[in-house]
Every structure is written in structure tokens, then in C-alpha cells.
Amino acid sequence: MDKLLEVNDLTKRYTQGNMLARITLTAVDHVSFYIKPAEIFTLAGESGCGKTTTAKIVLGFEEITTGSIYHNGKPHTHKERAWLTDGVQAIFQDPFSTFNPLRTVESYFHETVQNFRLASSKQEAIDRIDQKLRLVGLSYQEFAGKYPNEFSGGQLQRISIARALVTDPKLIIADEPVSMVDASLRMSIVNLFKQLRDELGVSILYITHDLATAYYVSDRIAIMFRGNIVEMGTVEQVLMNPKHPYSKLLRESIPQADPQKRWDTVVTLAEFEQDEYLRQGCKFAGRCPAVMDICKSVVPADLQVDGVLVKCHLYSENAGIPVSATQTVAG
Ligand code: SF4
């Protein structure tokens, strides 16, 4: 099995406070996953679960504390530019902050074409830009000379995607790409991701708190909670038949998991809680309806249950096999 991106045992710790009261928070805690070519893999969870920190580390914006990342079999260099020249691009949450309001949007595209030496003449550059814009339902003619404020949020996010495509990336890291887009346009953006996967073979690391779009667009999904992946498998396995109590809670917060009908549903749970990050044992123990004594002192192992990774003591007795003793999870 080819792995385009492989994240192994990734940990990121931050130290907060002063000399007298210093605490260390583990924002990402021994996280491992991989992405195959032409696959949409989602990291999902509430605010403060560690998904965006993971994305920033993958993009080289944050240093790794421990662990390793491989891209195309080569070790991650931790340098942002190295990623950009090696077939990885990013799309961020707020399309308006992606572009300077005083610059035409078109200038960003020409700059990228120039930096990556992708055309030998202005017309060749325009043709390339137009081709990428057409993939997202726009054209060079309708965007030339315009400034960011002349577009809607949805149009500008499409333009961000087209810009990411200018370099023909093999992997796009999309961090909450639809959360600031009008509800009525969200589906068109996630449909674009499917189209890029199916027609161009692009892989996407989709970071979201919105389980409805995650269900609609993902091949596989990992649910994160306070820095840990607590469940990982195919999207059908994890969202239609969740095993971890936290995944069940998330699933129940969507009244109907048919995104074609309820795609505007956004799951928003509790905000960042430092206590949960610092908790011994299972970090979900304070909220878990199935909590046991062991959960309060012993960190659950990653277990393989029916082909799904589950981090929960409920499965440690009979059903679960330690993931370290198996080859892959839902691969
Ligand atoms: Fe709940 Fe215990 Fe499983 Fe944590 S390990 S999710 S507290 S049952």
C-alpha cells in the first residue's frame, strides 16, 4: 500500500505560565495516521482537540516535539517552503485573510507561476491560471483585475483552491475550509474536493469540526479528543457505527447523518478545557457515561476492534487487539 503522507507517533508539547506556576500541555499526543494517494482523510473533533496543531506541524509552521513525518517516503524537513516545492499546498479557514485587500487576486496567481517557473510567457501563465480556475467553476476573464472584496466568501475560497492547484499538488491540507463559507455554499466546496480526488488524484487532509461534511467527503476519518486520536477507520465505520464513547457523543449531536439532507448541521461542543488536557488516564473520563475506575488512572491503549482503531478501556478485555500487534487500521 502506498502512503503519500505518514505521521508516526507525533507529539507536540507547549509550556505555559511563569517560573512559579509552569504547566506543560500536550496538544498532540502520540498521533499516528497515513494518507494514501487520491484519498480524503479527515481529522475531526471539537475546538482544542489538536487537529489544527497537527496540520500546522505537517505544513512546517510548528516544530515537532517527538515523532516523525514522511512524505513520499522521505522524512519531513520541517521547512514550509520545502513542502510547497514538493507537491503540498494548503487552504485555510478564512479566505479573506489569505489575500491582501490592496492587491488584485490575480497577482497572487502570477506570483506563484513565476516563483515555481511554471510558464515561459504571460499568455502561458494566463492559460495555466484559467485552467485551474475552470476546475473550481470560475474563469480568468471574470477574476482578472479584481480585488478580494469584489468576491463573496464562497467565491474567494474557490479561488484559494484554484491557487493551491496552480502548482499541481498531490496533497492539499485544508484546515476548516468551509467554516466561514455560507451554509448554502459549503457543499459545493466539499464537492470540489471529491472532484479533485477523483479526476486529478489529489489527496486531501481535511481538518474540520463539521461531521456532516466530513461524512459526505471523507474516505477515512480520525476523531481527535484533547490531543489523542480516539477512533480511526473508514468514515462509514466511525460515523455510522461509532465505538468510542466520545465518537458516539459526536454522532448523536447530528440529528441525521445524511449530509445530503442535513449538510448544514455543525457540531460544536465544549470549548478548550485545560483540565481535560492535564487529566491522568483517559482524557474523556470526566464526561464519559461509561467511565470505570481504571479510566481515571491508566491511559487506554490503541486497540483494533473490527478493523477500527479505538482508544478505550471498554474494548481491552475481549474485543480489542493492540494496534502495535497489527499491520494497519482500515487501510
Ligand atoms: Fe470512557 Fe473509560 Fe473508554 Fe475513556 S477509556 S472513553 S473513560 S470507557
Q: DSSP 3-state helix, strand, coil percentages of the chain (rounded to 5)?
A: 35, 25, 40
Q: For residues 18 and 326, what is the distance between their CA atoms, to the nearest angstrom?
A: 43
Percent of the chain whose pLDDT exceeds 90: 60
pLDDT of 268 reads: 39
User: For residue 65, what is its C-alpha cell?
Assistant: 516535539
Does the CB atom of residue 285 touch ligand 1 within 6 A? yes
pLDDT of 66 reads: 94
Of the options 3.40.50.2000, 3.40.190.10, 3.40.50.300, 3.30.56.10, the CATH number for the domain spanning 5-102+147-246: 3.40.50.300
Q: For residues 314 and 94, what is the distance between their CA atoms, to the nearest angstrom?
A: 40
User: 260 or 236, which is more confident?
Assistant: 236
Does the CB atom of residue 303 touch ligand 1 within 6 A? no
Report which ligand 1 atom has the smallest distance to the Cα of 244: 6
Q: Give how far Cα 308 sits from Cα of 274, 319, 326, Å.
A: 28, 11, 11
Report which ligand 1 atom has the smallest distance to the Cα of 294: 2
Contacts of 228 (CB under 8 A, 6+ apart): 29, 30, 31, 50, 283, 311
Give the model confidence (pLDDT) of 131-157 as tens digits.
999 999 899 998 899 999 999 888 999
Strand 302-305, strand 321-322: pairing? antiparallel
Give the model confidence (pLDDT) of 11-67 as tens digits.
999 887 777 778 888 999 999 999 999 999 999 998 889 999 999 998 888 889 999
pLDDT of 78 reads: 59
Looking at residue 26, what DSSP letter applies?
E
Q: Which residue has the cell 466568501?
A: 153
pLDDT of 75 reads: 83
Nearest to 53 by CA among 238, 272, 235: 272
Phi, psi angle pair for 107, to nearest 5°: -65, -30
Amino acid type, 43: L
Q: For residues 62 and 209, what is the distance between their CA atoms, to the nearest angstrom?
A: 21
pLDDT of 208 reads: 94
Q: How many CA atoms lie within 13 A of 82 on its CB side?
A: 12
Q: What integer is the mean pLDDT of 233-251? A: 94
314 alpha carbon – ligand 1 mean position (Å):
7
Q: What integer is the mean pLDDT of 151-172? A: 92
Angle at CA of residue 270, ends 264 and 275, nearest 5°: 155
23 alpha carbon – ligand 1 mean position (Å):
25
Q: Which of 244, 282, 294, 296 for a ligand 1 pocket mutation test, highest count of atoms within 8 Å of Cβ?
A: 282
How do the domains of the chain map onto residue ranges? 5-102+147-246
pLDDT of 178 reads: 86
Q: What is this structure's pTM? A: 0.88
pLDDT of 94 reads: 87
Provide the residue count of the chain: 331
Q: For residues 91 and 160, what is the distance between their CA atoms, to the nearest angstrom?
A: 7
pLDDT of 80 reads: 52
User: For residue 208, what is its C-alpha cell?
Assistant: 474540520
Q: For residues 210 and 203, what is the distance between their CA atoms, to the nearest angstrom?
A: 19
280 alpha carbon – ligand 1 mean position (Å):
12
Does the CB atom of residue 245 touch ligand 1 within 6 A? yes
Looking at residue 276, what DSSP letter applies?
H
pLDDT of 84 reads: 57
Q: Is 279 exposed, middle or buried (0-12, 13-18, 19+ CB in 10 A)?
A: middle
For 118-127, give one letter per residue: b (16+ CB within 10 A) or e. ebeeeeebbe
**pLDDT at residue 179 above 90?**
no
Q: For residues 98 and 103, what is the distance between their CA atoms, to the nearest angstrom?
A: 11
Please provide the DSSP assignment of 202-253 as one string.
-EEEEEES-HHHHHHH-SEEEEEETTEEEEEEEHIIIIIS--SHHHHHHHHT
Residue 23 in 3-state DSSP? strand
Q: Is 329 exposed, middle or buried (0-12, 13-18, 19+ CB in 10 A)?
A: buried
Give the model confidence (pLDDT) of 55-98 as tens digits.
999 888 888 999 999 988 888 765 555 555 668 899 988 888 88
